[in-house]
Amino acid sequence: MSTSAPEDPLETSSPRSRAHTVSGTKTPGPKVLQSSSPKKQYLILYNFISALSWLVVLGRIVLLVPLVGFGRVYPGVGYFTKWTQTVALLEVVHAATGIVRAPISTTAMQVASRILLVWGIVNAFPSLAKSAAYSSMLLAWSVTEVIRYSFFTFNLSGYSPGFISWLRYNMFFVLYPLGISSECWLIYKAIGPAREVRVEFAWVLQLILLVYVPGSYILFTHMMAQRRKVLRGKQAQKTL
């Protein structure tokens, strides 16, 4: 349920190219970098650092799995991933303070589910990280976030590379099933160890697992709606 953001939580008003009329013919105007405001500079920096951090996670996964196998990935990437994801708590602050236009409840739920996985499940029960599901989950997360944060960084800087937009609104077809199935498997496998710690903990995990199915459907259909909206916008631009 936390593979990709249901909204564009870091999206803010970004400069877009304007059409200029020359002798009755519309030609695209230059894309001007407008990043002078402190808020925009902060968001560009936040997105850039986040994209770079998740790229490090992705690189470690890609290197470690062939070298040491799934069972020994966690020591090489787990600590860095925990804190990279923890920094994303700032996104809840961004939504709550109005720095970005995003629903607080959805953003908080999205971030909380990942915090649960990296701290409440994998950190509490490290043996679960030996599963291939842990590596596949991080692979889905890292690819998703590199694309997402890069998309926001470019948009906030006044540029919109077509390939980044394409990746943003098409890769979720693969990343959603991979990430969600991996998350569900880890939560399911954590129920037994959690019961030994505290039975209420196991009940909470079971409840979360039940919520994942409808929650994931809602997020997936939302991304589909976002994709259709973007495609309609591009089609409208072509007809101008």
Average pLDDT over residues 157-183: 91
Distance of CA 231 to the CA centre of its chain: 21
Which residues have a Cβ under 8 Å from the Cβ of 208 and sit 6 or more positions away?
Answer: 113, 116, 187
Supply the pLDDT for residue 237: 59
Which sequence spans correspond to the domains of the chain?
36-239
Supply the pLDDT for residue 189: 98
pLDDT at 1 over 70: no
Task: Give the C-alpha separation, 116 to 64, whole Å.
Answer: 24
pLDDT at 206 over 60: yes
Per annotation, catalytic residue among 134, 176, 200, 217:
176
pLDDT by residue (tens digit) across 121-144? 999 999 999 999 999 999 999 999
Burial pattern 11-47, b for ≥16 Cβ within 10 A else e, equals bbebbeeeeeeeeeeeeeeeeeeebeeeebeebbebb
pLDDT by residue (tens digit) across 13-36? 333 333 333 344 444 443 444 557
pLDDT by residue (tens digit) across 144-168? 999 999 999 999 998 888 899 899 8
Distance of CA 42 to the CA centre of its chain: 19
Question: In the annotation, is 176 catalytic?
Answer: yes
Per annotation, catalytic residue among 7, 91, 145, 183:
183
Question: In the annotation, is 183 catalytic?
Answer: yes
> With bands split at pLDDT 50, 70 and 90, how would you rate the model's confidence at 223?
confident
List the structure tokens of 33. Answer: 């970098």
